[in-house]
Amino acid sequence: MSIPFLNLKEINLRYQNELRQCFERVLDSGLYILGKEVSNFEEKFAKYCGAGYCVGVGNGMDALHLILRGYQIGKGDEVIVASNTYIANWLAVTYAGALPIPVEPVLDTYNINPQLIEEKITKRTKAIFVTHLYGQTADMNPIINLAKKYSLKVIEDAAQAHGAKYFSRKAGNLGDASAFSFYPGKNLGALGDGGGITTNDASLAERLLMLRNYGSNIKYVNELQGFNSRLDELQAAFLSLKLNTLDALNNERTKIAEFYLSELRNVNSIVLPNKLENFDHVWHLFVIRTQNRDQLIDLFNKNDLGYLIHYPIPPHLQNAYKDLHFVEGDFPIAEKIHREVFSLPLWPGMPPAHCEKIIKLLKSA
Ligand SMILES: Cc1ncc(COP(=O)(O)O)c(C=O)c1O
């Protein structure tokens, strides 16, 4: 029995009739960019997160970048980032013209270590990017306190954390502004690219509405040097529909994760993910760690089982950042994580027999 890493088609086929109706509705509307579907979704998603505003954009990377532009963070500024994050928020910082300042994560949770941030703050620091990696939020209270002390913006990268909670508040409503990706494989995924920004800051939201649309609110009148990054009507219609069942899908993910956690707890050669109390993990990914990753890769390949590595190379060692002159050993915790992580298959609707097969194999190995 071959097992995929993720079965997106199966997830979306659950909604096939309603998705077709969404398509018909958008087709019939004759309005395909920035119409009612986008504004309806924005309102619904802001409410879901508990935030005042949502601005739909083209993808998650643009969401991160536009937040920086919205706060006029750019050349000469520094932005704190995690050393082990997905590269998108480093790219957003450099795209805006600012400098990413990496901070090591907590090995136990893979999220940025609040204790290590203060020593990296300088006069040029403007913001702290906080990625909620794999579906569990970072420890936000100490980060928010630091940000208040130094007047910094806290920007969430919530691309992997739709519906995750930190002491009963949802990701997307924990910092000054939050970036979401609706890439098809995300917990709330479109059928193409999509992104969104949530915030309680009315003036930021107003700037973002212009920045995503050539810097313009009134056709052919340009207030700002903006971009073209709009969530499209069709994706917004799909996302509004799928948002209705996001919590149910997250619960399905949680059940599978709990099954893995209980069945694998005595397998000594792997480190299981650590779900913290008062944090509602939404299990975007189920990431284990092992010092024998090559053996595990062989085993999964031989048995035709899906897996992915999130991520094999930390941003500071990517060729893309060779001009920052980092070398191996600069961020040992991030490097260890990137060397040892291994993501097991997990998706809503994954058959229990699939989990059982993976568990059996890991136990026997
Ligand atoms: C943590 C994180 N940030 C940002 C992004 C970028 O999102 P997108 O692919 O929609 O640009 C992703 C998506 O892969 C992500 O996982």
Q: Could you please report the per-residue DSSP string of 284-343?
A: S-EEEE-TTHHHHHHHHHHTTB--B-S-SS-GGGSGGGGGGT--TTSSHHHHHHHHHEEE
Q: Which residues contact 264 (CB under 8 A, 6 or more apart)?
A: 270, 272, 288, 359, 362, 363
Assign 3-state DSSP to the chain and report helix, strand, coil percentages, each to 5.
40, 20, 40
- The angle formed by the CA atoms of residues 156, 158 and 162, to the nearest 5 degrees, is 140
- Hey, what are 176's tokens? 């000054």
CA distance 116 to 126: 16
**How close is the Cα of 305 to the center of ligand 1, in Å?**
24
Q: What is the pLDDT of residue 365?
A: 83
Which residues of the chain carry a pLDDT beneath 70?
none
Residues making up the chain, counted from first to last? 365
Q: Which of 155, 181, 310, 311 to mutate to test the pocket of ligand 1 (most atoms within 8 A of CB)?
A: 181
Q: Cis link prior to 183 (omega < 30° from 0)?
A: no
Torsion of CA 231, 232, 237, 241, to 10 degrees: -30
**125, containing H or E segment:** strand 125-131
Atom of ligand 1 nearest to the CA of 131: 1
* Closest residue by CA, ligand 1 atom 10: 60
Q: What is the pLDDT of residue 311?
A: 96
Q: At what angle do helices 202-211 and 60-70 cross, to 10 degrees?
A: 120
Atom of ligand 1 nearest to the CA of 88: 4
**How close is the Cα of 295 to the center of ligand 1, in Å?**
29
**How close is the Cα of 181 to the center of ligand 1, in Å?**
6
- Most distant pair of Cα atoms in the chain: their distance: 66
Chain center to CA of 210: 24
Encode 298-331: b = buried (16+ Cβ within 10 Å), e = exposed.
ebbeeeebbbbebbeebbbbeeebeeeebeeebb
**How close is the Cα of 47 to the center of ligand 1, in Å?**
22
**How close is the Cα of 221 to the center of ligand 1, in Å?**
31
Ligand 1 — pocket residues by CB below 6 A?
Answer: 59-61, 86, 88, 131, 157, 159-160, 181, 183, 193, 195
